């Protein structure tokens, strides 16, 4: 992606109040992030926190079922 993600040839008008190309920008960000990972101490964060999140969600569901 080069330059600003503006729809070329589309100026600001009543029909097009925002010429920014959000779809193009979203694709550029997704392409840039493809293959990246969030790591902590060399391990994927998702792998590190999944068990704790599952446990906390389970406790929350028990509280909801009990009316809490």
Based on the fold, state whether residues 1 and 15 are members of the same structural domain. yes
**H or E, element range at 14:** none
* Strand, coil or helix: 43: strand
Based on the fold, state whether residues 29 and 47 are members of the same structural domain. no
Count of domains for the chain = 2
36: its two tokens: 């990246």
Based on the fold, state whether residues 28 and 51 are members of the same structural domain. no
Based on the fold, state whether residues 20 and 31 are members of the same structural domain. yes
Its pTM stands at: 0.42
Based on the fold, state whether residues 32 and 46 are members of the same structural domain. no
Phi, psi (degrees; rounded to nearest 5) at 62: -60, -45
Based on the fold, state whether residues 53 and 24 are members of the same structural domain. no
- Structure confidence by residue, pLDDT tens digits, 1-43: 455 555 555 666 777 677 778 888 999 999 999 999 999 999 9
- Structure confidence by residue, pLDDT tens digits, 35-68: 999 999 999 999 999 999 999 999 999 999 998 6
Based on the fold, state whether residues 53 and 25 are members of the same structural domain. no
45: domain range? Answer: 38-68
């Amino acid at each position: 992606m080069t330059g600003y993600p503006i729809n070329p040839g589309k100026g600001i008008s009543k029909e097009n109040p925002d010429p920014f190309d959000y779809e193009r920008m979203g694709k550029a960000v997704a392409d840039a992030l493809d293959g990246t990972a969030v790591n902590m101490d060399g391990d994927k964060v998702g792998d590190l926190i999944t068990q704790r999140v599952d446990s906390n969600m389970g406790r929350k569901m028990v509280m909801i079922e009990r009316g809490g």
